[in-house]
Amino acid sequence: MKDTGFDQWRAEPEFSDLKGRNPFKDLRVRRAIAQAIDVDAIVAKVLRGQAVATGSLVSRRVEGYVPALERRRPYDPAAARALLEEAGYRDGFGVTLDCVNIAWRAAACQAIAGMLAQVGIRVAFQPSPAPQFFPKLTQATTSFFEVGWSPATDAWPLLNAMVRSFGDGGLGAFNAGRYSNPKLDRIIDAIRVEPDIARRRQLVGDALAIVHAELPLIPLYRRTLGWAMRPAAPRT
């Protein structure tokens, strides 16, 4: 699963040309970015069809998955520019996009940078090797980032690590944007201890709906993994 995320706690992004304000705190800007990225084109042309575009933070194999949340905001650069203007960024802004330097992920990040340029967001693409990239997430020293993970069939570890408010004991360990929503925190904490499976599924759906609405992360695509096998050699 691959997403983009943003610094949502500093008064101004550390790696941006803006001073005195942080555009990523504005939901209109986050929606604009979602509508400026043509994920279908990235899947078809950059990833050669080896992925599936998604609007959901988790797949249908995860307990609590909500099918309606697969629906992405439509790719619409004109709508994205209108949202940016409404939010007070008619001339756009510049920002650094951090990405791990794995070839196919870096290529997708480069495509995202080009698409955002079409709506006035000037992206400086910054690929880094994993030992440099992941501390930027855990230490929240990035303004705009691409992140990916391989989730289990349970949603709680993902929700707790990625979108719960940062705190002691591993809370929000990979919440690189330091997004914080007390209501979402309460739901995530309730998921951890809820024994009733039906109630737990409902709580997961509630958490996913909040993330889908507020876009602390923008879901992009799930990569299709290829496997090859051959018959075992006969025993002699």
Domain boundaries, the chain: 2-223
CA distance 213 to 149: 21
Per the prediction, the chain carries an average pLDDT of 94
What is the pLDDT, as a whole number, of residue 197? 95
Q: How far apart are CA 67 and CA 65, in angstroms?
A: 6
pLDDT band at 224 (very low <50, low <70, confident <90, very high): confident
The hierarchical CATH code for the domain 2-223 is 3.10.105.10
Q: Is the pLDDT of residue 151 over 70?
A: no
3-state secondary structure of 122: strand
Q: For position 236, what pLDDT does the model report?
A: 63
Instruction: Give me the pLDDT at residue 228, please.
Output: 72
Closest CA to 33 of 137, 141, 143: 143
Q: What is the mean pLDDT of residues 38-62?
A: 94
| pTM value surpassing 0.85 | yes
